[in-house]
Structures are given as structure tokens and as C-alpha cells.
Amino acid sequence: MITLTHLLVAVAMLACTDVEFEIPTPVPGGGNSSGSGSGNTQNGNGGGNTPVVRPLTMAERYPAATDEPCSLVPDGKSDTYAYMNARGYYQECPDSSGVHAYNHVKHITQVWDDSLARYVYRFDIHIDIDDDRGKPEITDRQRNEIKTYGVSPDNMVASEGQTHTYTWKFQIPNGFKATNKFCHLHQLKGYGGDDVGNPLVTLVARLRSGKQYLELTHYGSNGGPSSVLKSTSLDDFEGEWVMVREKATYLHKGQYEIEIVRLKDDKVLLYYKTLNLDLWRIGATAIRPKWGIYRSFGEGGSLKSQMRDESLLFTDFTIKEE
């Protein structure tokens, strides 16, 4: 007879392995799964309680990255900025922009997400209020991002020749509004030196011929032009959690690989790999990642009518130096 004790022991043994497994759930009713008495069965071999298989939830298949190197996973209770800073991540937020100058509002907060069954970070941006870090001379864009840089631990910024792997999860809201100008959701960007105005690589939401895309773009050294390395429909991203794994070797002839997987069905939405990509900046001190939303609203706000307030979700940031 298969008892509940047997099932619990089996689940406990599987949980100690690295193998993906499914948790059996007993079927209500009398009898047993192997007997020959009366009762409904799943396999026609007799009456009783035949276990049925419950697929793992999305939260179980993709647990929080709390034990990963240089991780940033919200705990739902700490001060958001203090917690991020203590882990080597720093914010660039419009908390004092516009009306916020008299009533500061945190633009990165922790919220509960039912599908992942844990707290995540919400990045808010307001089209009619927020600017770029409160700088009055910048009138065509706004940002709400986190980054690593010189004050972060050494293994969270990359020197020339080093290889770093980044992972994170994010969700773009339903009805997201992009324009034909830039809307960066992620950047690999240098600091120090004179040739760091443009990022090296970005993930950009963009409107082209009436359709929205997520584009992987690359910028050449010395102000070189940008090129789209890969593009895919933004439709597959809206309202869905996705996981990103990105690996970069920082050289002028560097290696780069990225994969974005939709969590609900493990579908690969974007993949790109190259063994020859300019991933360094002349005179740069280091390269670091940035995440959030950094978007143009046009000179003098000319694109604001095409845009809206947005709230993007992020979680499970990790950085691994090889």
C-alpha cells in the first residue's frame, strides 16, 4: 500500500537532488492504488487513492536567487534603497523631480507578486512629472534605474579582459507604450575615460512601423553608430515574467551571449551569440550593468502624448565574475 508517509519520503528524497520533479497529490477517496477492490482508479487496475501529478508552479521552477553571487532579491521589509546599497547596487531615481521636489516619492519599491510568490521590485516612471535625476538642463528624457559602479565591490564591475555573467527577471506591463526613440530597459555601460557617452549594449523597447519590438543594440567605440543585433515582438513580453542570462567578455574583440526565456512556458523569446563584438571603451575604468527604464520623451516633451506612466517589475539580479 502506498501511504502518505511513503509519498512524503519520496518527495523529500527528490528535493535533495538537482533533478526537476513533480509533486504527487493524493486523490480523495477510499481504498488503495494497488488493490483489487471497488472504487474509481486512474489506471483501471483496481480501486483506491491513485496519486496524480501536479506540475511545478512557476515560482517552484524559478526560485529566488538569494544564494547566488552578488544577488539582489527584495526581502519585503527593509528600506529599499538602503538594502540595495548594502548589496552594491545604487539607484538613479527622479525622487525629487517636479512636484516631488516638495514631497519626495521613492520610485523603486517592493511589492508582492502572486505568480512568483515573493516580493519583487517595482520601478515607476511618470511621464508628466519625472525627469533625469533632477537635472534641469536635461529636458528630453527621464530615467529610473539601478546600477553598479566604482563604489560597488570589485567583482560587481568588470575590468578589461574580464568575463561577467548577469541574470535577472523582469516583467513589462500590459499596454506598455514605446516610441520610435529610445527606451532602455538594460544597459552595459562604461565609466571613466572620454569614450563612455554611449552604452556598449542595450535592451530597448521601440516602436517601428506601428509595431513594438524589444531590440538588442550595440554601439561602437568613439561615438560609432548603433546597430540592431536582434529584434523580437514586444507582444510576447507584455504581462509576462521573463528571465535573462547575459554573458560578456570585455575586450575590443569580445564575446557576448544573451538568452531571454518566458517563465510560464519556458519559451525562448530572444537569443543571440557572437565571438567578435567591441565590448570595451578607450580609457574606460570599468564596465557595469544598469537596469530599469531610461527613455526619451522628445525635445521639449514632443512625444509625451504617445506615452504614459509605466511600472516595470524586476527581481533576482545576480552578477558572477569568471
| pLDDT digits 0-9 by tens, 43-89 | 444 456 777 889 999 999 999 999 999 999 999 999 999 999 999 99
The confidence score (pLDDT) of residue 90 equals: 98
Give the pairing of strands 310-321 and 286-296: unpaired
Q: Let me know whether 30 and 105 are in one domain.
A: no
Go through 71-106 and write b for each residue having 16 or more CB atoms within 10 A of its CB, e for each that does not.
bbbbeeeeebbebbeebbbbbbbbbbbeebeeeebe
The answer to whether residues 168 and 281 belong to one domain is yes
Binned at pLDDT 50, 70 and 90, residue 4 comes out as: very low
Instruction: Select from 55, 73, 95 the last residue of a domain.
Output: 55
The predicted pLDDT at position 185 comes to 98
Query: Does 25 lie in the same domain as 107?
Result: no
Note whether 182 and 46 are same-domain residues: no
Identify the CATH number of the domain in which residue 80 sits: 2.60.120.200
Looking at residue 268, its pLDDT comes to: 98
pLDDT grade for 101, boundaries at 50, 70 and 90: confident
Number of domains in the chain: 2
Asked if 141 and 269 sit in the same domain, the reply is yes
User: Are 78 and 154 found together in one domain?
Assistant: yes
Cβ contacts of residue 92 below 8 Å, gap of 6+?
Answer: 133, 143, 144, 145, 146, 147, 292
Q: Cα separation of 295 and 308, whole Å? A: 12
pLDDT value at residue 76: 97
The DSSP secondary structure of 166-189, one letter per residue, reads EEEEEEBPTT----SS-EEEEEEE
Q: Is-above-0.85 flag for pTM?
A: no
Domain boundary among 34, 55, 76: 55
Would you give the distance in Å from CA 75 to the centre of its chain? 17
Of 13, 40, 55, the last residue of a domain is 55
Same domain, 138 and 211: yes
Q: State how far the Cα of 85 lies from the Cα of 150, in Å rounded to an integer.
A: 13
For the chain, how long is the longest CA-to-CA vector? 82
Q: Are residues 171 and 249 in the same domain?
A: yes
- Secondary-structure percent of the chain, ordered helix, strand, coil, rounded to 5: 10, 40, 50
Percent of the chain with pLDDT over 90: 75
pLDDT at position 102 is: 84
Q: Do 288 and 147 belong to one domain?
A: yes
| Residue pair 68/320 in contact by the 8 Å Cβ criterion | yes
Statement to judge: residues 170 and 273 lie in one domain: yes
Both 156 and 289 in a single domain? yes
Range of the domain at 30: 1-55
Question: When comparing pLDDT for 226 and 12, which is higher?
Answer: 226
Same domain, 190 and 255: yes
